[in-house]
């Protein structure tokens, strides 16, 4: 299975490497939606995205989730990853490390880990350092 690659700011990179921060947050945008979710009907990305976090704010990893849109029912699930490679920024000589990927859901993030209060995100869970 593939590896998910995430670039982090130094503060979040250090906290994650030290095992303090076991999850990362990504905005509910079409960019992250396409990277993290498998969808059967790709023509309706925007509508599915908007409905998904309003109707079902916590989607377990790899569980099929359905959203009604008029007379259509959409089926979606998160992509599968074995591991996540975390990088400190974008430079060629940046620090990196790899962790076991523990899944993705849509939920509220923690303010102390960079999330805005009351805002939903893709929550990417990290396991042990590999």
What are the residue ranges spanned by the domains of the chain?
A: 3-129
Query: Radius of gyration over alpha carbons of the chain, in Å?
Result: 15
CA dihedral 36, 41, 46, 50 (to 10 degrees): -80
pLDDT digits (tens, 9 = 90+) for 78-95: 888 999 999 998 888 889
Q: What is the pLDDT of residues 23-74, one digit of tens each?
A: 999 987 778 877 887 765 445 565 565 555 555 544 444 444 544 444 344 4
CB contact at 8 A, 105 and 61 = yes
Question: CB of 19 within 8 A of CB of 98?
Answer: no
d(CA 120, CA 111): 12
Closest to 28 (Cα-Cα) out of 89, 126, 105, 113: 105
Q: What is the reported pTM? A: 0.75
Strands (E), the chain: 3-8, 23-26, 37-39, 65-69, 72-78, 83-88, 96-108, 120-129
C-alpha to C-alpha distance for 77 and 71, rounded to whole angstroms: 20
- Locate all alpha helices (DSSP H) within the chain, ordered by sequence: 10-17, 30-36, 45-55
């Amino acid at each position: 299975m593939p590896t998910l690659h995430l670039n982090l700011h130094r503060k979040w990179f250090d906290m994650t490497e030290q095992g303090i921060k076991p999850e990362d947050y990504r905005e509910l945008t079409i960019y992250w939606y396409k990277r993290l979710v498998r969808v059967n009907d790709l023509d309706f990305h925007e509508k599915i995205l908007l409905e998904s976090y309003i109707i079902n704010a916590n989607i377990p990893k790899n569980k099929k989730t359905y959203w009604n849109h008029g007379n259509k029912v959409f089926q979606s699930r998160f992509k599968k990853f074995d591991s996540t490679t975390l990088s400190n920024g974008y430079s060629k000589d940046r620090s990196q490390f790899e962790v076991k990927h523990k899944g993705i859901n849509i939920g509220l993030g923690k303010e102390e880990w960079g999330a805005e209060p009351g805002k939903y995100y893709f929550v990417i869970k990290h396991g042990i350092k590999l």
